[in-house]
Structure 1
Amino acid sequence: MATSTENTNSSFRALPSDGPVLLPDKFRGAVVEDLQLPPAFSLPKSELIARAIELAYDRDFSHIPVLGKHRNLLGYIEVATLKKKWEAGEVTPTDTIASCMTKFNRSPTTNPYTIITPDTPLAELESFLRNHIFALITDYERKFVLGVATSQDLEAFVSRRGI
């Protein structure tokens, strides 16, 4: 016969008699907007590698969305990879980022979109980031990239809240 015991440690909560003991929601119901991310910036695919690296370091971004001619989202560049290719002589500063970007797979059957907006709960964002290095935060119609979130952003949020 299972008995329910009350746990006085505030970092745990007891579930019904046969349930496991779990930590509380570390995000306390917060949503992406609560991360207070800096506004994202995107680059056109025609941007030069030298300029992209300069802009990334000025803004302290590790991943930058890449846009097409009609401001449609094509993919992203990973700044560390771009810098390594430059230092290894695989690309020149005057090459465009289109040659180094990672393209998004647009197939809805093999890679369906996970829509992440300012109202997405942080618990859902954390779940998404377990399988991805970053998340693009978009407006509700997916027309504009509002921000870029990483696992480090979630860790900083939790540490600011003292959890």
Structure 2
Amino acid sequence: MKFVESGFVHVYTGNGKGKTTAAFGLALRAAASGMRVFIGQFIKGMEYGETKIAELMPNVVLEQFGRGCFIEKNPSPEDFRLAREGLRRSEEVLAGGSYGLVILDEIFIAHFFGLISSSDILNLMNLRNMRTELVLTGRKAPQEIIERADLVTEMVEIKHYYTKGVKARKGIEF
């Protein structure tokens, strides 16, 4: 198993497109370098093009902790249950220390909807093996997480074809 010498915490946030794409690009790079990669997707529970990465790369594990695409209104009890399950699984993975890269995709959306707390996320950051690279994604990253992270990238939407009525396209947006 390959690890980096010292892992860092990345935050990919903002209203622009590309947070999950950036995280999966890093997963591809890490996996191609022989690193074990764990990807936990909060909120998401559907098959997307990106979910096939685990089929294509044997050193990548992807698990989803959601029942659909996104929560549009109030979270259901099932949304809470799945987010807590994702949190417990993420704690196991980070405490175990066997992955060189751990990506917790859309964790900030789970936080925004009150499914998990900032202290839950800070606890995950504390649990990680110091050689494990941790990537946290989603809009609306809490300030206390931004302050604690080693790398923060904000995706800013300047222009998007979605505003012209273009729907999500397979292979590009999902």
Using the size of structure 2 for normalisation, the TM-score is 0.25
Between Structure 1 and Structure 2, the one with more helix by share is 2
Where relative contact order (Cα < 8 A, 6+ residues apart) is larger, the structure is: 2
Q: Which protein is bigger by CA-based radius of gyration?
A: 1
